[in-house]
Each structure stands twice: as C-alpha cells, then as structure tokens.
Amino acid sequence: MAPEKEESVEEFIDWFLTEEEAEAPLERAPTVMKKICMLGDPAVGKTSLVARFVFSVFDDKYIETIGAKVVKRTMAVERVATVQRCRLKLIIWDIAGQRTLDFIKPTYYRDAEGALIVTDLTRRETLSNAPRWCKSFRDVCGEVPVVLIVNKSDLRAHAQYTESEARAVAQELGARLFMSSAKSGENVESAFSSLGRELVSGVLRSQRAPSLEKRGC
C-alpha cells in the first residue's frame, strides 16, 4: 500500500485569523502556546514589525530595544479534514540586536520554538549577519522553524541587495522568505502566519491535540 501523502501546510490549515474575527465560538478549543523570537541587527525594524502585526500600527521613530520586549497575539486555526480547531497563542520575544548583549541572549532564546530573522533591504550587512543570528538561536533551541524577513521593502529604490540574494540566504537557513514592510504592512501578516502554521501543524495532525490544553502547551 502506498504511503499516505503528507498534507502541505497550506492544505492543512483552512483559516488563520485573530480570535476576535472567528465566526464560530472557540470556548472549547484547546490553546496551544508557542514562544517565538524576533532576531536581527539593531534598527532593522523588529519592533515595528511586531507593532504592525499585533497592534496594526506603525511609528517610524526609532526606539532602541533594551534587552527584550514580550507581547502576544492569539489566533484561531482549523484543520480542514477534521474540522479540528485550536487557539494559537504566539508569545513574541522582541530581542535587542546589540552585540554587547550577546552573553544574555541564550537566556532569552530558551524554550522558543521558532524565530523570525529580520534584515534591512537598505543595509547589506544585515543580510550577511542573518546566518550568525540563525546559528546562535539554533545552538540553543535546535532545528526549529525559522522565517527570514527582508524589511523595508517600501524602500526598494535604496536596496543594497536583491531578492535573489536574500532567497539564497533563506535557502541556506532552511527558511521561508518574505519581502515585507512594517510601514506599508506588506507581507507582515503572511510572515508571522507562515511561522504560526508550521508551529501548529504538527499539533493539529495529532489525535492527542485536545489534551494539550490541560498540559498548558
């Protein structure tokens, strides 16, 4: 007998939206909590991307992150084949990019199950540093899913590298690539949702998924 074809992430998830937008009530749906990290050099726009994703706002004033900031967003997910639903609560750690804080970052990474590595389209060195960020993170967390975000896609006229170059780095990291803009909102939701789908797909495939709520996952 031929092995059952594995569902792709896109086929597996029917919808992916904020809990407030869900048409059906989710009171009995299990809650799956996943910690993820925002990584990248200073001033690439990590905090702006989080603000756009969580609060739908953008502020172009640069405020340096000291240490780490933590925010959350809850989303609703459903498996098409079984109409199995769950809440996905993303706990987002926005981690400062300064090299002087490298000694403390492994503490921030601990227990994370995914990351978004952010680069700045107008600064080539931020792309060159992406593999270093990925390695430092996976040295602590293992081979967990990673997404590469090229931020400031609204400034393509000032680009210092091409999308093809970014795609080559993403392939090296085993990551999905998104050309995004915290200012315009381009692909911000898609980048976070892509990582969220990867994190929750294994849970929804499991028949044990309803028991996860009791375990606080």
The residues, ordered by sequence, that sit 6+ positions from 51 with a Cβ below 8 Å of its Cβ are: 57, 58, 59, 182
Residue numbers of the domain that contains 65: 11-205
Residue 217 is assigned to a structural domain of this protein: no
Residue 105 is assigned to a structural domain of this protein: yes
By DSSP bridging, strand 84-95 and strand 114-120 are: unpaired
Residue 213 is assigned to a structural domain of this protein: no
User: Where does the pLDDT of residue 168 fall: very low under 50, low under 70, confident under 90, or very high at 90 and above?
Assistant: very high
Residue 6 is assigned to a structural domain of this protein: no
Instruction: Give pLDDT, residue 9.
Output: 42
Checking if the pLDDT of 141 tops 70, the result is: yes
Greater model confidence, 16 or 153: 153
Most trustworthy range by pLDDT among 34-43, 56-65, 87-96: 34-43
> Which residue is associated with the tokens 């309803």?
210
Residue 193 is assigned to a structural domain of this protein: yes
Per-residue model confidence as pLDDT tens digits over 95-119: 886 665 666 678 889 999 999 999 9
Instruction: Give pLDDT, residue 179.
Output: 98
Average pLDDT over residues 67-90: 80
Tokens representing residue 169 in the block: 């780095």
Instruction: Give pLDDT, residue 206.
Output: 61
Question: What gap in Å lies between CA 20 and CA 25, rounded to an integer?
Answer: 9
Average pLDDT over residues 155-181: 97
Instruction: Give pLDDT, residue 62.
Output: 44
* Domain count within the chain: 1
Tokens representing residue 201 in the block: 């797909």
Average pLDDT over residues 2-17: 43
Residue 142 CB-half CA count within 13 A: 4
Residue 168 is assigned to a structural domain of this protein: yes
Mean pLDDT across the chain: 80
Residue 2 is assigned to a structural domain of this protein: no
DSSP 41: S
CATH value at residue 102: 3.40.50.300
> Which residue is associated with the tokens 């960020």?
133
Residue 1 is assigned to a structural domain of this protein: no
Average pLDDT over residues 73-98: 81
